Structure 1
Amino acid sequence: MNVSFFDDHPEPADIRAEVLAGLTQPEKRIPPKFFYDEQGSRLFDAICELPEYYPTRTEIGLLRQYGAEMAELLGHDVVLIELGSGSSLKIRTLLAALRPRVYIPVDISREHLLRSAEGLAAAFPDIEVRAACADYSRPFSLPLQADDQPRAAFFPGSSVGNFEPPDAEAFLHRVGTLLGPGGHLLIGVDLRKSEDLLHAAYNDAQGITAAFNLNLLTRINRELEGTFDPAAFHHSAFFNPHDSRMEMHLVSNAPQQVLVAGETFRFSEGESIHTECSYKYSVKDFHALAERAGFKPVRVWTDDQQLFSVHGLRRGDD
């Protein structure tokens, strides 16, 4: 198969530093990127198939309906970089319409990335696949080699909503620098909607989102010699209207103390670890954010119910 692998995966020391730093804050927090070990990636794939979880099926519907238009905007014969190698159905739909010369999937979950890259290389033997295991939430390297063709990026799933807005702006600026003047970005953005729909999407009846959230504690136990008892915490997800964001937390059921990498952390009953934010934007507000980061909005596609949006952005000329 025409696939290569580039490893810029965070070292255990990096994970240790970020987790310990988050747990020492007045409001304990752990970055959502650490959800995605092998089990976490499997659970997220299951979340994407839930009846309550509208973003994935809505975005796939937009890709199927407007894929030819999106491919035309990105430009054919490009190096396509996918940030977050998530739903293979999304990227398969785009690859079929775009047929880039080179495809570079980027993901922090090594095993998940490898499986996905190998499957896509087999399905698209005419496309060179260069898988890159990296943390795209901070500066990272890519196997771009000496490519002189235009670059485009695909960032699906509204993962941009997991960044605080200033961090989202900085992230988009880094992506723009990576793409270069005139490079295009296709990005999924979740829209503002009723709290009932949001609550259902993050608190599914089967409890898969709860298992996904709690798996973070299992990963810390395994990789950082943690002593978390996942049964001593519960999943909580709610809408914060002031900041227009969903929040996910792991809430302590009773007073307790936990060891992580030799450090002791105490929890009172009801105290939480903040594990994820998911900001919801209007089209106008997201365009303003993109423009501050150096992108020009070119196109936007939305579904009939205005649940989700896919934006075509162009990096400005420097």
Structure 2
Amino acid sequence: MSRPPGHPVSLTEFEADVRAGLSKADQKELYSKYLYDDLGTALFEAITLLPEYGLTRADLRLLDGHARELSNWCVNLSTVVELGSGSGEKARRILPHLVKTGPLTYCPVDLSGAALNRCVRDVDDITGLKIIPIEDSYISGLASASKLRKAETSMLVLFLGSSIGNFDPPVAEQFLIAVREKLKSGDVLLLGTDLVKDLDQILAAYNDPLGLTAAFNLNLLLRINRALGANFDVRQFEHEARYNLADQRIEMHLRSKSDQVISIGSGFTVTLKKDETIWTESSYKFRPEQIRSMSERSGFSCEAQWIDEEWPFAQSLLRITSLHGDRRAGLIE
């Protein structure tokens, strides 16, 4: 789980995506970005506090541990951009150290205006920091932020948590290429990735005993009910998390408890058999060498890598090198 990828969507796009995903014959699916309405976002933030979900704490421990070291890698830094900033808790760990090198502009980028407001409140007491929140998608927001930088200065981009793991591997590389295209020589990307770990540890994180992850998953059906006039009965579904060992990913599904027919708006129905599932999210896990290889294929070099020992999680410091051939990322927004 992570802050959602994607871009602001209209109700028409939401409905089109829902209909397309639920019309698939082999495996019905819904985009994970739609998990994050106001209630979904609140549930996700609660999940990050659970003892079973160690990813966020690992992220924060690493930031605390190398915040000072990070400033040494960022020469002539003027701008820090955080993609999927949420409440700004992570940036708060490093900005006080980075601003010691000189005045900084911090641009949190998030789809949630409420999250951006909390973020601004959380960091606005840092002396020497100018805050420009950007309510937008990752790449579009990064493009806007890059235009704000002073000439001949560098930019640090934060893409923390496990957000990159929500993309299928080819799309993850396309995304990194899209980020690379917005950067200049001297810029740095700090990338967070969840690592392969003990199976019991992974499954416990996505099947918490309080049922918060289940509520987070089921809330997607309630969102469809509210927005599209559907009649999903969440009592007829159960949350299921499974680990795909071959592909190194955790999958979240909603399993139908019975044969049922659901109406969505006017003129569209979905038939589900008992035990049929709707696939709602993937979270890929990585090995350190896979992160380095993926980065190199995307036009970055991995200059440093920090790994948390308590919860296997990595933060990798990437510098731009060059793009290869004519690989472009025009489909990533």
Q: Report if TM-score (shorter chain) is over 0.5.
A: yes
Mapping of residues 300-315 of structure 1, within 5 Å: 300-305=305-310, 307-315=312-320
Report the alpha carbon displacement of residue 143 of structure 1 after superposing the two structures with TM.
Answer: 4.6
**Distance across 1 between alignment mates of 2:18 and 2:185:** 36
Contact 1:55 1:190 in 2 (8 A): yes
Compared with structure 1, are the counterparts of its residues 237 and 112 closer, same or farther at alpha carbon in structure 2 (3 Å cutoff)? same
**Distance across 1 between alignment mates of 2:232 and 2:142:** 31
Counterpart of 1:21 in structure 2 is 20
Report the alpha carbon displacement of residue 168 of structure 1 after superposing the two structures with TM.
Answer: 0.2
Report the alpha carbon displacement of residue 135 of structure 1 after superposing the two structures with TM.
Answer: 3.1
**AA partner of residue 119 (structure 1):** D
RMSD: 2.1
Compared with structure 1, are the counterparts of its residues 308 and 153 closer, same or farther at alpha carbon in structure 2 (3 Å cutoff)? same
Counterpart of 1:267 in structure 2 is 272
Counterpart of 1:74 in structure 2 is 74
Correspondence 1:117 to 2:116: no
Q: Which is worse superposed, 147-156 or 187-196?
A: 147-156
Report the alpha carbon displacement of residue 22 of structure 1 after superposing the two structures with TM.
Answer: 1.7
Q: Deviations over 1:179-211 (max 9, x none)?
A: 233321001111111100001111111111111
Q: Deviations over 1:78-118 (max 9, x none)?
A: 32111112353212102122226211111222322333234
**Distance across 1 between alignment mates of 2:292 and 2:38:** 34
**Distance across 1 between alignment mates of 2:13 and 2:229:** 15
**Secondary structure, in 3 states, of the residue corresponding to 1:79?**
strand
Q: Structure 2: where are the runs of 5+ without partners?
A: 1-6, 324-333
**Distance across 1 between alignment mates of 2:191 and 2:33:** 18
Matched residue count: 310
Counterpart of 2:10 in structure 1 is 11
Compared with structure 1, are the counterparts of its residues 17 and 113 closer, same or farther at alpha carbon in structure 2 (3 Å cutoff)? farther
Counterpart of 1:158 in structure 2 is 162
**Distance across 2 between alignment mates of 1:154 and 1:301:** 14
Q: Which is worse superposed, 38-47 or 10-19?
A: 10-19
Correspondence 1:86 to 2:86: yes
TM-score, normalised to structure 1's length?
0.90
Report the alpha carbon displacement of residue 317 of structure 1 after superposing the two structures with TM.
Answer: 4.7
Q: Deviations over 1:211-231 (max 9, x none)?
A: 111111111222222221222
Counterpart of 1:52 in structure 2 is 52
Report the alpha carbon displacement of residue 38 of structure 1 after superposing the two structures with TM.
Answer: 1.2
Report the alpha carbon displacement of residue 126 of structure 1 after superposing the two structures with TM.
Answer: 3.2
Counterpart of 1:175 in structure 2 is 179
Q: 2:109 aligns with which of 83, 96, 106?
A: 106
TM-score, normalised to structure 2's length?
0.87
Counterpart of 1:223 in structure 2 is 227
Compared with structure 1, are the counterparts of its residues 43 and 165 closer, same or farther at alpha carbon in structure 2 (3 Å cutoff)? same
**AA partner of residue 136 (structure 2):** A
Compared with structure 1, are the counterparts of its residues 287 and 234 closer, same or farther at alpha carbon in structure 2 (3 Å cutoff)? same
**Secondary structure, in 3 states, of the residue corresponding to 2:77?**
coil
Q: 2:282 aligns with which of 277, 298, 311?
A: 277
Compared with structure 1, are the counterparts of its residues 65 and 217 closer, same or farther at alpha carbon in structure 2 (3 Å cutoff)? same
Correspondence 1:64 to 2:69: no
Counterpart of 2:202 in structure 1 is 198
Counterpart of 2:40 in structure 1 is 40
**Distance across 1 between alignment mates of 2:235 and 2:276:** 15
Correspondence 1:128 to 2:130: yes
**Secondary structure, in 3 states, of the residue corresponding to 2:306?**
strand
Compared with structure 1, are the counterparts of its residues 204 and 213 closer, same or farther at alpha carbon in structure 2 (3 Å cutoff)? same
**AA partner of residue 124 (structure 1):** I
**Distance across 2 between alignment mates of 1:137 and 1:268:** 39
**Distance across 1 between alignment mates of 2:34 and 2:57:** 24
**Distance across 1 between alignment mates of 2:186 and 2:142:** 21
Compared with structure 1, are the counterparts of its residues 223 and 21 closer, same or farther at alpha carbon in structure 2 (3 Å cutoff)? same
Q: Deviations over 1:226-257 (max 9, x none)?
A: 22122211110011101111110111111112
Contact 1:38 1:112 in 2 (8 A): no
